[in-house]
Amino acid sequence: MKEAYFERFTIQMPDDAVAECHHQGQCDADVEYWQGKIDLSHISDDKLSAELSEYGAWNDDELSDRQANELRIIWIAAGNIQDDERERENEVQS
C-alpha cells in the first residue's frame, strides 16, 4: 500500500493501482477500474474540488462532478507516488 499526500488529505492506494493508474497512453479504463477499490469516502466534495481547482485544468462546472473528480484525483495520486519514488531512487543513487 502506498500513500499520496495532498494539501487537504491523503490517499492510500495498492501498489498495483499506482502502476496501473498512471502510465504512458490512455489511463481512463485503468483508473475507472480502481475507482471503486480505492477508499475516498474520507474526502469531502468541497476538499476534493478545492484540491483539484489548484491545478487550473477544470472549471467550476466540471469540478462539481464527484465521480469525475475521483477519477482525476486517483490519476494524479498515482503520478505523485511514482514521482516521489523516482526522487527517492535518485537521491539514493547520488
pLDDT at 62: 97
Classify strands 2-5 and 10-13 as parallel, antiparallel or unpaired. Answer: antiparallel
Grid cell 505523485 — which residue?
80
The range of the structural domain enclosing residue 85 comes to 2-93
> Which residue blocks in the chain are alpha helix, DSSP H?
15-20, 28-35, 45-53, 66-93
- pLDDT of 94 higher than 90: no
**8 A C-beta contact, residue 27 and residue 21:** yes
Its pTM surpasses 0.85: yes
From its phi and psi, is residue 38 left (phi > 0), alpha (psi between -120 and 50) or beta? beta
pLDDT digits (tens, 9 = 90+) for 14-41: 999 999 999 999 999 999 999 999 999 9
pLDDT digits (tens, 9 = 90+) for 37-46: 999 999 999 9
Distance CA 91, CA 8 (A): 27
How many domains would you assign to the chain?
1
